[in-house]
Structure 1
Amino acid sequence: MSKATTATTDETTTVTMEALLAVLTECAGDIELPGTADEIPDRSFGDLGCDSLVLLETAARLQSEYGIVIPDDVIAELETPRSLLEFVNGRVGGAVGAPA
């Protein structure tokens, strides 16, 4: 993933909402996510047209690009892009796959 889609502070990389939504959109088959940029982070994945397969693919991409393991049971419980982003950023630079 390019530096343009992540933010770096000190030696910690943080995944941005823009980067997460880009991965989510690609995994969903390049669909256009409904809603405004301000609304999308808090809309449910179902409302955005993202099913469990899209979320599993997104989790696999995040693992590939950031080394973040998101267990299947966790990805199933995350309901919005914001909750996924908070989970991911809690893992970047931390214990991969460890409970929050």
Structure 2
Amino acid sequence: MTETTGTTGEIRLTMEELVAILTECAGDLELPDTPEEIPDCSFEKLGCDSLALLETAARLQSRHGVSVQDDVLAELGSPRALLEHIQGMEGAQRVTV
């Protein structure tokens, strides 16, 4: 489960949680042979089209209070880049749900 701390606004989201959200939004992901490769695979290679990325952004906002613009999400290009972006956000960038 994602945690947000009350004092610093730190957002903690694991790669497993992020991949689960991507799977929910894209359906069956086209996973690489080894799980270690998933974070660096492009969204396109994983089978996430633009609609899946829009849904991912919406779920991150509704479930975790994290607002990632759709165009930024597409530019990030991979689960690792997205997770690093989220982890680098400050509390002011979170939305209240």
Work out whether the TM-score is over 0.5.
Answer: yes
Structure 2 gap ranges (5+): none
Higher relative CO (Cα under 8 Å, sequence separation at least 6) belongs to: 2
Count matched residues.
91
- 1:83 is the counterpart of 2:81: yes
TM-score under structure 1 normalisation? 0.78
Once the two structures are TM-superposed, the CA of residue 37 in structure 1 deviates from its matched residue by 1.3
| Deviation for aligned residue 1:60 | 0.4
Q: Assess if the C-alpha contact under 8 Å between 1:67 and 1:96 holds in 2.
A: no
Q: Note if contact 1:59-1:75 (Cα within 8 Å) is conserved in structure 2.
A: yes
- For 1:74, the equivalent position in structure 2 comes to 72
Give the equivalent residue in structure 2 for 1:15.
13
Amino acid at match of 2:74: A
Q: Scaled by the length of structure 2, what TM-score is found?
A: 0.80
1:25 and 1:33 in contact (8 A); partners too:
no
Point out where structure 1 has 5 or more consecutive residues left out of the alignment.
Answer: none
Would you tell me which structure has more helix in proportion to its own residues?
A: 2
- Greater Cα shift, 66-75 or 52-61: 66-75
How do residues 47-58 of structure 1 correspond to structure 2 at under 5 angstroms? 47-58=45-56
Identity of aligned residues (%): 57
